[in-house]
């Protein structure tokens, strides 16, 4: 990669992380800025298909593939498993999570499998697609409630600190902007099975909250955010779940759009 093109790659990956984070409610990704470095490192020569990734075995990667496929299944476009999202998740956990979050993620894999055994009488890999989906929908509600509770428990920002921040544009309508962002977040969390359209980049979405030193988030939160990030930065996500044209291209301010059309992917 040449020095001229490298900054653009980093900016686009930062934007992808910011937008997927906003889809998940505005909470910063586990791994923080290390995800940018790892996304670049992932371009190295591919490992053999069954090679371990850190402490993740081939069976672990297959397990993560099935979790990701349940979140983003194959429809009219390939699903998360076709995009090798399980290997991406294992790589990101290995390269960007600290030891505490790595342990929480690995414990979460065991907890998910145990929950499937309790609920369905069989492990996750042997469960039917319907059983897997029902379980992950339950876990998604659980992680959402936990995340909301932790956000609410954080101390409010002092008024003096807010006043000392940068000047605001008083001509804007903050209530309208906030309501629009909240509506986007609610829409994104509304459907677990197929989040392609909700996960498409949205230029109106604001940045993520700062990374904190809280206890590790719910394990399914980590699995879900890595699934979305892995899928929507993959070639399949860019070129099939979304529409993509390599830049530079012509400027067309009035491109036709109909409800339900795929979003345009930013420059890879």
pLDDT tens digits, residue range 209-251?
A: 333 446 889 999 999 999 999 999 898 988 888 888 776 667 6
Give pLDDT, residue 17. 54
Question: For the whole model, what pTM was predicted?
Answer: 0.63
pLDDT of residue 170: 44
Average pLDDT over residues 24-39: 50
Query: How does the average pLDDT of the chain come out, rounded?
Result: 74
- For residue 142, CA distances in Å to 23, 136, 145 come to 17, 9, 5
Q: DSSP secondary-structure letter at 170?
A: T
Average pLDDT over residues 72-88: 94
Does the pLDDT at position 24 exceed 80? no
Place of tokens 């197929």: 194
Residue 89: per-residue pLDDT:
96
CB 80 within 8 A of CB 136: no
- Contact present, 23 and 228 (Cβ < 8 Å): yes
The mean-pLDDT minimum among 45-49, 134-138, 235-239, 261-265 falls in: 45-49
Is pLDDT of 46 > 70? no
Q: How many whole angstroms separate alpha carbon 72 and alpha carbon 78?
A: 9
What is the band of 82 on the pLDDT scale with cuts at 50, 70, 90?
very high
Q: Is 243 helix (H, G, I), strand (E, B) or coil?
A: strand
What SS3 class is residue 138? helix
Q: What is the pLDDT of residue 138?
A: 97
């Amino acid at each position: 990669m040449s020095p001229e093109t490298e900054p653009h790659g980093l900016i686009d990956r930062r934007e992808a992380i910011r937008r997927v984070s906003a889809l998940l409610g505005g909470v910063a990704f586990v791994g923080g800025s290390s995800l940018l470095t790892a996304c670049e490192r992932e371009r190295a020569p591919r490992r053999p298909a069954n090679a371990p990734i850190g402490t993740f075995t081939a069976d672990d990667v297959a397990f993560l593939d099935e979790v990701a496929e349940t979140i983003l299944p194959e429809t009219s476009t390939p699903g998360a498993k076709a995009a090798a999202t399980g290997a991406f998740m294992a790589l990101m956990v290995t390269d960007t999570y600290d030891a505490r979050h790595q342990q929480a993620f690995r414990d979460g894999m065991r907890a998910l499998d145990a929950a499937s055994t309790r609920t369905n009488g069989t492990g996750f890999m042997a469960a039917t697609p319907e059983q897997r989906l029902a379980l992950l929908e339950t876990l998604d509600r659980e992680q959402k409630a936990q995340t909301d509770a932790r956000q609410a428990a954080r101390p409010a920002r002092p008024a003096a600190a807010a006043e000392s921040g940068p000047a605001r544009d008083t001509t804007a309508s903050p209530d309208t902007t906030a309501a629009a962002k909240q509506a986007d977040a609610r829409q994104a969390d509304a459907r677990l099975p197929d989040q392609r359209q909700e996960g498409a980049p949205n230029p109106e979405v604001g940045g993520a909250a700062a990374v904190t030193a809280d206890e590790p988030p719910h394990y399914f939160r980590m699995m879900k955010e890595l699934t979305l990030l892995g899928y929507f930065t993959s070639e399949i996500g860019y070129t099939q779940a979304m529409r993509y044209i390599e830049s530079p291209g012509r400027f067309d301010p009035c491109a036709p759009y109909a409800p339900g059309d795929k979003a345009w992917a930013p420059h890879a």
